[in-house]
Structure 1
């Protein structure tokens, strides 16, 4: 995850890598590209997790979230520095991070909570 400052809100929070799908690009390829550009890691496996609209009735802004498993360090983040910290954070810590206010981005919340539920459900 990335510890980022959002200037519009003057607020810090943990976020997932992400970005806009380029014309003609498959969203799965976008996810891999964004993770690599923003963290320096390339996911070993990636699967579609959930697609949702964060503000139904206000804007059309489909969000597509992928779940990556494993990663290979392939270099440094590229482009402008987008995060002060990059860390692996266990899904078990998500509820406490929400309670502290460290996770507040709707896309991050939907993706992480769904991933946590799906993976915990897979364990029985």
Structure 2
């Protein structure tokens, strides 16, 4: 599988609620899906939990699933400092693994979505600039 996108999402659950990858797996199963659609989930305490393995096509940003990795931040539009630190570390690691992958938000692929409710391209641009210094 050739990964060309790393897509950031939010769970759209109440901010700061202690949801987990297991909770999202259950929600997605309840909708009749195969299970969690994301590859990684970042909990409010910053814990990075695994969802689908990278070799399993995600179910998070149709029609871009076959060539993307999905990351889900728990919350709607407010994230903890621990989540921001974990997101930065995870995306840095993934871009080392998939150096040609574009980092973007779900809303950048679907104009009807606001998820993850922040400008991922600007956020990532700042991270990249800071890592060049």
TM-score class normalised by the smaller sequence = 0.3 to 0.5
Larger radius of gyration: 1
The TM-score with structure 2 as length reference comes to 0.31
The TM-score with structure 1 as length reference comes to 0.33
Which is strand-richer, 1 or 2?
Answer: 1
Higher relative contact order (CA 8 A, sep 6+): 2
